[in-house]
Amino acid sequence: AQSVTQLDSHVSVSEGTPVLLRCNYSSSYSPSLFWYVQHPNKGLQLLLKYTSAATLVKGINGFEAEFKKSETSFHLTKPSAHMSDAAEYFCVVSYSGGYNKLIFGAGTRLAVHP
Amino acid sequence: NAGVTQTPKFQVLKTGQSMTLQCAQDMNHNSMYWYRQDPGMGLRLIYYSASEGTTDKGEVPNGYNVSRLNKREFSLRLESAAPSQTSVYFCASIPPGGRTEAFFGQGTRLTVV
């Protein structure tokens, strides 16, 4: 069965330090992978996506993620956190079949401290 | 181009009341979805519609019904609201072809008292 595991429910960093949000997936074939961000009381915004092209994917606001098939991971990173990055982040796997099925991770809440 | 529009944004219901959440997209997408978001659980699929005229159950369909009125509109109905249905509801649409991201509405925050 397909699944997505976000390894940390909460991550806290200081402004200006690196961010690492971890995501592992299980799949019997190559999926598409996404990271979405949700700011408080807002909808979901796409940060970046992997769809079988380059394994290192760059997104908006300085975020990037690397697809590692051997580790079934798709971790999200940013070199230097900003206060505005405080939000909840969702790792999402998409499988195409009769319909586009999305599997969401439980989310990681990122706190950024001055 | 508004994308995906949900109404209402907020709603408070009493237990046993009914209501319909509306969703419309103007991107000519075939697939539309309803999710609910609860703390610590990510988004869970309630119902989806792969194309106009078809609907299917997702992960958590109990207590809900849907209607795919036309290609643009996909509504979610709670016939008899329960406190367990207190949640944030998101509508989404996905372009055809696979390997593409979903486009989400802004959400409906529903409280059932």
Q: How far is CA B104 from the centre of its chain?
A: 10
> Do residue A99 and residue B31 have CB atoms under 8 angstroms apart?
yes
pLDDT: is A48 or A101 the higher one?
A48
Residue of A nearest to B37 (CA): A106
Minimum mean pLDDT range among A5-19, A29-43, A92-106: A92-106
CB contact under 8 A, A51 and B90: no
With CA atoms as reference, the chain A residue closest to B107 would be: A43
From the candidates A102, A108, A109, which should be mutated to test the interface with B, based on the most B CB atoms within 10 A? A102
Neighbours of A88 (CB within 10 A): 21
pLDDT given for residue B41 in this prediction? 83
Q: How confident is the model at residue A96, as a pLDDT? A: 65
pLDDT band at A28 (very low <50, low <70, confident <90, very high): low
Quote the minimal CA–CA distance from B62 to chain A in Å.
Answer: 19
| Residue B17 confidence (pLDDT) | 97
Whether B50 has its CB under 8 Å from any CB of chain A: the answer is: yes
Judged by a CB distance cut-off of 8 A, whether residue B71 touches chain A is no
Residue A44 is nearest to which of B90, B94, B98, comparing CB atoms? B90
A with B: how many residue pairs have Cβ under 8 Å apart?
Answer: 59
Q: What confidence category does residue B100 fall into, taking pLDDT thresholds of 50, 70 and 90?
A: confident
Question: A84 φ, ψ to 5°?
Answer: -70, -10
Single-letter amino acid, residue A98: G
Q: Is B89 an interface residue toward A (CB < 8 Å)?
A: no
In sequence order, what DSSP letters do the residues of B16-71 get, joined into one string? T--EEEEEEESS--SEEEEEEE-TTS-EEEEEEESSTT--EE-S--TTEEEEE-SS
pLDDT exceeds 90 at position B99: no
| Residues B39-89 pLDDT 10s | 888 899 999 998 898 999 999 999 999 999 899 999 999 999 999 999 999
Rounded-to-5 percentages of helix, strand, coil across chain A = 5, 55, 40
Chain A residue at shortest CA distance from B88: A41
For B99, the closest of A43, A51, A99 (CB atoms) is A51
* A98:B102 CB<8 A: no
In the predicted model, what is the mean pLDDT of chain A? 90
Q: So what's the pLDDT on residue A98? A: 55
The token pair at A86 is 């405080």
pLDDT computed for residue A27 by the predictor:
72
Q: How confident is the model at residue B13 (pLDDT cuts 50, 70, 90)?
A: very high
